[in-house]
Amino acid sequence: MGRWARRSGQPTIFSKIIARSVPATILECLVFCDVVPQAPIHFLVIPKRPIPRISRVGPQDAELLGHLLLVAARTAQAEGLADGYRLVINDGNHSTQSIYHLHLHVLGGQQLGWPPG
């Protein structure tokens, strides 16, 4: 399983970043650069509270989800992504979700192709 642990109860790489036991380039709040960027600008926005998948959220998470989107938009603006960017949330095996802690990918800095993948 390695450092990208999926099993519940096992710390994920994101949990380790939050605990500061794994170094990360922090841009703002819990926003940090992806370690394997897929675009010139590629950062992640994660909540402190571990939610394994977007499909596992409920009504009690509405404020948190809105906050994540606001932070993503504000950080994209601060990073100079005025020409646009892509937000990606992977959910489950078929989407190739590799870390089971909700996270938003924000990708930009170049023309992105469609369809993705």
Q: Would you name the residues annotated as active-site residues?
A: 103
* 30 closest CA partner among 40, 20, 41: 20
The separation between the first and the last C-alpha atoms of the chain, rounded to the nearest angstrom, is 24
> DSSP label at 92?
S
3 state DSSP class of 52: coil
Cα–Cα distances in angstroms (integers) from residue 49 to residues 30, 38, 55, 74, 101, in the given order: 11, 26, 15, 21, 9
Residue from 25, 1, 14 nearest 49 by CA: 14
